[in-house]
Amino acid sequence: MEALLCKRLGDPASESPSVGNDSDSSPSPIEVIRNYPIPELDSPTAVRVKVKATSLNYGNYLQILGKYQEKPPLPFIPGSDYAGTVEAVGPAVTKFKVGDPVCSVADLGTYASFVVQDQSLLFGLPKGCDLVAAAALPVAFGTSHVALKKNGNYYKQVLLVLGAAGGVGVSAVQIGKVCGAVVIAVARGAEKVQFLKSLGVDHVVDLTDQNLTASVKEFLKSRDLKGVDVLYDPVGGKLTKEAMKLLNWGAQILVIGFASGEIPVIPANITLVKNWTVHGLYCGSYRIHRPAVLEDSIRELISWMQKGLITVHISQTYSLTEANLAFSAIKDRRVIGKVMIAFDDKRSSML
CATH number for the domain harbouring residue 107: 3.90.180.10
Residue 135 lies in a domain: no
The closest of 25, 32, 42 to 3, measured between CA atoms, is: 32
Q: How much of the chain, in percent, has pLDDT values that exceed 90? A: 81
pLDDT at residue 92 tops 80: yes
Q: Establish if 294 belongs to a structural domain.
A: no
Residue 156 has pLDDT above 80, yes or no: no
CATH number at residue 236: 3.40.50.720
Q: In this structure, are 161 and 113 located in the same domain?
A: no
Say if residue 210's pLDDT is above 80.
Answer: yes
Q: Verify that 199 and 277 share a domain, yes or no.
A: yes
pLDDT of 328 > 50? The answer is yes
Domain assignment of residue 279, yes or no? yes
Domain that holds residue 176: 140-283
Residue 290: inside a domain, yes or no? no
Domain count, the chain: 2
Q: What number is the average pLDDT over the span 101-107? A: 95
pLDDT of res. 5: 96
Q: State whether 109 and 8 are in the same domain.
A: yes
Q: Both 112 and 181 in a single domain?
A: no
Q: Do 191 and 117 reside in the same domain of the chain?
A: no
* pLDDT at position 154: 62
Q: What H or E segment, with its residue span, contains residue 277?
A: strand 277-280
Structural domain includes residue 350? no
Mean per-residue pLDDT, 73-79: 96
At CB < 8 A and 24+ separation, what contacts does 210-214 make? 212/186, 212/239, 212/242, 212/243, 212/246, 213/242, 213/245, 213/246
pLDDT band at 286 (very low <50, low <70, confident <90, very high): confident
**Is the model's pLDDT at 349 over the cut of 80?**
no
The whole-angstrom separation of Cα 338 and Cα 332 is 14
Residues 45 and 76 in one domain: yes
Residues 177 and 158 in one domain: yes
- Give me the pLDDT at residue 260, please: 87
Q: Would you say residue 170 has pLDDT above 50?
A: yes
Mean pLDDT on 107-121: 96
The per-residue pLDDT of the chain, averaged, comes to 92
Q: Are 279 and 158 members of one domain? A: yes
Report the candidate in 77, 91, 83, 93 with the shortest Cα–Cα distance to residue 39.
77
- Classify residue 351: in a domain, yes or no: no
> pLDDT tens digits for 247-278?
999 999 999 999 888 999 999 999 999 999 99
